[in-house]
Amino acid sequence: MTPVWYFDFISPFAWLQWPRIKALADEREVTLRPFLFGALLNELNIRGPAEIPHKREFSYRYALWRARQAGQPMRFPPAHPFNPLPALRLCVAAGTTIAATDAVFSWIWAQGRAADTPDALASLADSLGITDLHAALSSPEVKATLRANFDHAMAAGVFGVPTLQLGEDLFWGADAHEFALAWLTDPALRDDAEMLRVSGLPVGLSRL
Residue 207 lies in a domain: no
pTM as predicted: 0.96
Q: Which amino acid is at 137?
A: L
Find the domain containing 131 and state its range: 4-199
The predicted-structure confidence for 112-160, as pLDDT tens digits, reads as follows 999 999 999 999 999 999 999 999 999 999 999 999 999 999 999 999 9
Q: For residue 204, is it within any domain?
A: no
Given a cut of 80, whether residue 24 has pLDDT beyond it is: yes
CATH number at residue 163: 3.40.30.10
C-alpha distances (whole Å) from 95 to each of 26, 41, 84, 144 are 18, 26, 17, 13
d(CA 87, CA 74): 17
Domain assignment present for 69:
yes
Query: Poorest-confidence range of 11-15, 35-39, 142-146, 185-189?
Result: 185-189
Interval 25-42: pLDDT, tens: 999 999 999 999 999 999
Q: What pLDDT does 185 receive?
A: 92
The reported pLDDT for the residue numbered 207 is 82
Q: Which of 119, 124, 48 is nearest to 81 (CA)?
A: 48
Residue 62 has a pLDDT of 98
Sequence-ordered list of residues with C-beta below 8 angstroms from that of 8, at least 6 positions apart, any chain:
14, 34, 35, 36, 37, 84, 88, 161
Domain-embedded: residue 206: no
Q: What angle do CA 24, 176, 105 make, to 5 degrees?
A: 55
Whether residue 208 lies inside any domain: the answer is no
Residue 1 — very low, low, confident or very high, per pLDDT cuts 50/70/90? confident
- Reply yes or no on whether the pLDDT at 208 is more than 80: no
pLDDT of 199 reads: 92
Query: How far is the C-alpha of 206 from the C-alpha of 19, rounded, in Å?
Result: 38
Residue 192's identity, in one-letter code, is D
Question: Domain tally for the chain?
Answer: 1
Residue 165 pLDDT > 80:
yes
Paired strand residues for 99: none
Give a yes or no: residue 66 inside a domain: yes
Residue-wise DSSP of the chain: ---EEEE-TT-HHHHHHHHHHHHHHHHS--EEEE--HHHHHHHHT---GGGSHHHHHHHHHHHHHHHHHHT------SSSS---HHHHHHHHHTTS-HHHHHHHHIIIIIS----SSTGGGHHHHHHTT-S-HHHHHT-HHHHHHHHHHHHHHHHHT--SSSEEEETTEEEESGGGHHHHHHHHH-HHHHT-HHHHHHHTPPP-----
Averaged pLDDT for residues 157-164: 98
Phi, psi angle pair for 186, to nearest 5°: -120, 95
Q: pLDDT digits over 66-118, tens only?
A: 999 999 999 999 999 999 999 999 999 999 999 999 999 999 999 999 999 99
Is the pLDDT at 187 greater than 90? The verdict is no
